[in-house]
Chains A and B, each alone.
Chain A
């Protein structure tokens, strides 16, 4: 062993090769996202939290728009003193990102002054600005919903001619595409308007608690701050409501495991009044609460509950059974609020001095002020708006596929947003001049090649980080959003040495000890493999997975801190959870018996 002599570091970006045979697909990504020689001098990490699966060409717009807005907020709007934005690269479909730290003390001082003029204004006027944010966001959603249908008729409708519109339909195809894209980029600016400031205020309180109570669990601090009626819980709450409705209307026997949503709906319609009454309730819930997708908003194929009812319908039999067992289905918000108050008061009492208590009061007040945004924004941004966006792109896919550009509407997502625009212009021109579009001869082969590359990359492991390890990680964005600290990196570096151990360590996210069979769910499509009492082992979960928590016994994830959704939902359901293990999905075999100790943050492999 010569580990002491050798300085530890991750492979250099230049040593990471494109998987042979996928060079064409790799070349599709824009030049500014390809690694270059200069990138070897910097530290990068694989953003498996947001991009756990290889990214197809179009979906990279999610990274582009998100980092564009994150960077602007940090660098130009609020002027965070110690950090600018995030750089982003892609190789083998894997998204690596790197922070852009400010280290010069004079520059930090200059930016601090700016920051306090800007961010402090936000803190002082939070409620007003947040109310305004909701209006802006709802306006944006309405704009997206109002985008016109895509039509290329053989002849322009007569009324357009008689009205003297003078502009042909092909122009609106391009305009709508550009507006779709523009709206999506704008949405991300809204997303980051408050986010870092919100997380920062929360982390200030978190940091205080960790110093005042060195052994306090992350989850306890989270419980002191977490909102009770956050919108992100609503979809799950709606399912409970619908379960209760089904029982009250006497139609609950229609919901059985294994029945498709279409079958259930058909039989409800056949039941007459009570069935129709339930379907009316369903419609109430769907708008807007089923606008939640089964991912985190970064993959076009993570469809919303509205687009694919199988997730919510799959969960209903379980909720109905629980309700019949007498379990109260509504979340007890009064009680939860009372518990939160008590928790805050109890910890306050334990502080040593009145000075500390006064500081504690100031910090938690600020954390409570910002937290509704931190918890609530996702429903509007990553879910509702993102669903509208991908579905609109799907319409372009359908139009292009109708004109022979590729076999399937979904194939559109194998093109970058630039390429998609060229295809649209191609179609626009051919429609106008009456000749055949060129795309049908070009895109099908490319689509096929890229689909194959994604499948290859998915089987290919990628390093968790690249480049030299920084001495310290002092970038609040990286620490807050990704939970990456110097200690994490050391764990990653030694992960290879621990492979013989039968223990996997992560964040203790939700208390309790459970033994059971591991179900390693690598993507959302595999969710239906989960059986009652299984332990969910996944890369990352998100709010729409909440319904699976009623049937699992525990949860383990690769990515996430104590405020991750797996952690929050596990606590809600009182299940043990260990998150942020880094390697659980690679080290745990499907079907293996494991023990999850959520209080200690340890998973033990038993067989």
Chain B
């Protein structure tokens, strides 16, 4: 099934498609095309949202109603938000859209109709503050079946009309016509262990090391902060592992039989042992370097190791904390290079 105006398969999209597939979707496509292992999937493009919304607007207007509100009218915003979210979550999709999404679902799942999937919102906005206000980080893990997928796609769309999201747009007087949302649908990785990786030290901003945080089970336990992960620091260039902090990983997220994830107590014999081998740490570093090279800037990466031991990337986004800091250069070239030694010989400046 080829990509279309509605569906964009990862292998067909990239960062330049962000306006129609969102940041997350664009990034997953970009990684796939750079031959970095990513669980297969597709993006429900913004056009799908537009089609869905215009179908709803035929019944009654949505965007003009939002635009008619002033930022201080919090009660009205709350009431409208509640109403719109319910409408979006419950309205059926136009038939052709419904068919296109289910066809993509079938193709992604293959023979196994209950292939577990992750459904994740993928914001098109460039404004990071907007994205976080709007609760656009919605992720639904371990969903099974086509209907369930459709439900969560609508939930992602509906999050555009959350109270903070509307309030934010009203405060900044952003036009509603530009508001759209793409949704990533992706095969779930049955992770044996998972975590995050920073290609620039979150502690010191050092670009020469990769920091890896890892725990047993799905990565959501690490991302949500429910478990203190093991922490490893590996030199990007030499591969020396300089830090191994092994923590008590008391809990892990595992898939629930009925869908979704559940907290499971980690077996005693695994709690305090390192969840990554040196080989895995080194393999993660190789992937981290490759991704950073591909993007040309430091990345924050989510990854997982599946049951067969393969490392897969779930997400990569540019590091923002240190990159946005204005730092004085460590040293500047001088006309007479010998002057540099005065740093050592010149005494306390």
* Chain A residues within 8 Å of B, Cβ to Cβ: 80-82, 102, 108, 112, 115-116, 119-120, 123-124, 197, 200-201, 203-204, 207-208, 211-217, 219-220, 223, 343, 346-347, 350, 352-353, 355-356, 358-363, 365-366, 472, 474, 476, 480, 508, 511, 599-600
Instruction: Report the bound CA distance from A208 to B346 in whole Å.
Output: 15
- Known contacts A213-B209, A220-B237; 18 further A-B pairs (Cβ under 8 A): A108-B346, A108-B347, A123-B341, A124-B338, A207-B344, A211-B330, A212-B330, A213-B208, A215-B203, A215-B204, A217-B235, A350-B237, A353-B329, A355-B333, A362-B333, A474-B347, A480-B344, A600-B244
Q: By the criterion CB–CB under 8 Å, are A347 and B208 in contact?
A: yes
Q: By the criterion CB–CB under 8 Å, are A217 and B240 in contact?
A: yes
B203 to chain A, nearest CB (A): 8
Interface SS, A side = helix
A-B pairs under 8 A by CB, number:
130
Q: By the criterion CB–CB under 8 Å, are A366 and B345 in contact?
A: no
Q: Contact partner of B207 among A204, A350, A476, CB < 8 A?
A: A350
Residues of A close to B345: CB separation below 8 A: 80-82, 115, 119, 200, 476
**A215-B201 contact given A356-B329, A362-B337, CB 8 Å threshold:** yes
Instruction: Report the bound CA distance from A414 to B201 in whole Å.
Output: 57
**A359-B331 contact given A215-B204, A474-B347, CB 8 Å threshold:** yes
Residues of A close to B340: CB separation below 8 A: 204, 208, 359, 362-363, 366
Q: By the criterion CB–CB under 8 Å, are B348 and A215 in contact?
A: no
B282 to chain A, nearest CB (A): 12
Instruction: Report the bound CA distance from A42 to B240 in whole Å.
Output: 41
Residues of B close to A115: CB separation below 8 A: 345
B286 to chain A, nearest CB (A): 14
B334 within 8 A of A: yes
Instruction: Report the bound CA distance from A208 to B341 in whole Å.
Output: 11
Instruction: Report the bound CA distance from A223 to B239 in whole Å.
Output: 14
Q: By the criterion CB–CB under 8 Å, are B344 and A214 in contact?
A: no
Query: Contact size class for B?
Result: 35 or more
Residues of A close to B240: CB separation below 8 A: 217, 219-220, 511, 599
Q: CB within 8 Å of A: which of B280-335?
A: 327, 329-334
Q: By the criterion CB–CB under 8 Å, are A343 and B238 in contact?
A: yes
B58 within 8 A of A: no
Q: By the criterion CB–CB under 8 Å, are A81 and B333 in contact?
A: no
Q: CB within 8 Å of A: which of B193-209?
A: 201, 203-209
28 of the cross-chain contacts (CB-CB < 8 Å) are A102-B347, A112-B346, A200-B341, A201-B341, A204-B341, A207-B344, A208-B340, A214-B204, A214-B205, A215-B203, A215-B204, A215-B209, A216-B208, A216-B235, A220-B238, A346-B237, A347-B208, A350-B236, A352-B327, A355-B333, A356-B330, A359-B329, A359-B331, A363-B331, A363-B340, A365-B337, A366-B338, A599-B241
Instruction: Tell which of A112, A197, A350, A480 has the most Cβ of chain B within 10 Å.
Output: A350
B238 to chain A, nearest CB (A): 6
Instruction: Report the bound CA distance from A362 to B332 in whole Å.
Output: 10
Instruction: Report the bound CA distance from A211 to B340 in whole Å.
Output: 14
Q: By the criterion CB–CB under 8 Å, are A347 and B201 in contact?
A: no
Instruction: Report the bound CA distance from A366 to B337 in whole Å.
Output: 8
Instruction: Report the bound CA distance from A217 to B234 in whole Å.
Output: 10
B165 to chain A, nearest CB (A): 35
B342 within 8 A of A: yes
B236 to chain A, nearest CB (A): 7
Give 7 closest A-B pairs by Cβ, nearest first: A358-B333, A82-B347, A362-B337, A359-B331, A214-B204, A213-B208, A215-B206
Residues of B close to A82: CB separation below 8 A: 345-347
A123 to chain B, nearest CB (A): 5
Residues of B close to A361: CB separation below 8 A: 333
Query: Across the two chains, which residue of chain B brings its CB closest to A354?
Result: B333
Residues of B close to A360: CB separation below 8 A: 331
Instruction: Report the bound CA distance from A392 to B138 in whole Å.
Output: 83
Instruction: Report the bound CA distance from A350 to B207 in whole Å.
Output: 6
Instruction: Report the bound CA distance from A361 to B201 in whole Å.
Output: 24
B142 to chain A, nearest CB (A): 36
A520 to chain B, nearest CB (A): 27
Residues of A close to B347: CB separation below 8 A: 81-82, 102, 108, 474
Q: By the criterion CB–CB under 8 Å, are B241 and A511 in contact?
A: yes
B172 within 8 A of A: no
Instruction: Report the bound CA distance from A58 to B345 in whole Å.
Output: 34
Q: Contact partner of A600 among B206, B236, B242, B331, CB < 8 A?
A: B242
Instruction: Report the bound CA distance from A258 to B336 in whole Å.
Output: 58
Q: By the criterion CB–CB under 8 Å, are B204 and A359 in contact?
A: no
Query: Across the two chains, which residue of chain B brings its CB closest to A203?
Result: B344
B202 to chain A, nearest CB (A): 11
Instruction: Report the bound CA distance from A353 to B331 in whole Å.
Output: 10
**A366-B208 contact given A220-B240, A355-B329, CB 8 Å threshold:** no
Instruction: Report the bound CA distance from A207 to B342 in whole Å.
Output: 12
Residues of B close to A476: CB separation below 8 A: 344-345
Residues of A close to B205: CB separation below 8 A: 214
Q: CB within 8 Å of A: which of B207-242?
A: 207-209, 233, 235-238, 240-242
Instruction: Tell which of B243, B329, B347 has the most Cβ of chain A within 10 Å.
Output: B347
Instruction: Report the bound CA distance from A108 to B346 in whole Å.
Output: 8
Would you give the 0/1 interface string for B229-266, flagging 1 where the beta carbon is closer than 8 Å to chain A? 00001011110111110000000000000000000000
Residues of A close to B327: CB separation below 8 A: 352
**A363-B337 contact given A108-B347, A217-B240, A511-B240, CB 8 Å threshold:** yes
Q: By the criterion CB–CB under 8 Å, are B341 and A215 in contact?
A: no
Residues of A close to B344: CB separation below 8 A: 200, 203-204, 207, 476, 480
Residues of B close to A81: CB separation below 8 A: 345-347
Q: By the criterion CB–CB under 8 Å, are B242 and A352 in contact?
A: no
Would you give the 0/1 interface string for B20-50, flagging 1 where the beta carbon is closer than 8 Å to chain A? 0000000000000000000000000000000
